[in-house]
Amino acid sequence: MRDGHAIACSLIALNDATDPQRVAYGRYWGALERVDCLHFEACYYQPLEWCIAHGYQRFEGGAQGEHKMARALLPVKTSSAHWLSHPAFADAVARFLEREGAGVENYLEQLEARSPLRAIS
Using a 10 angstrom Cβ sphere, with 0-12 exposed, 13-18 middle and 19 or more buried, the burial of residue 7 is middle
How many helices (H) and strands (E) in the chain?
A: 3, 3
- Model's pTM, two decimal places? 0.66
Percent of the chain past pLDDT 70, that is, above it, reads 99
At residue 39, the pLDDT reads: 87
* One-letter identity of residue 1: M
The pLDDT tens digits of the residues spanning 1-56 come to 899 999 999 998 898 878 888 889 887 789 999 999 898 889 888 999 999 999 88
3-state secondary structure 44-88: HHHHHHHHHHCCCCEEECCCCCHHHHHHCCCCCCCCCCCCCCCHH
CA 5-68-2 angle, 5° bins: 10
Average pLDDT on 51-65 reads 85
CA 63-33-11 angle, 5° bins: 35
Answer for the pair 15, 23: CB distance below 8 angstroms, yes or no.
yes
Which residue ranges make up each domain of the chain?
1-62, 75-121
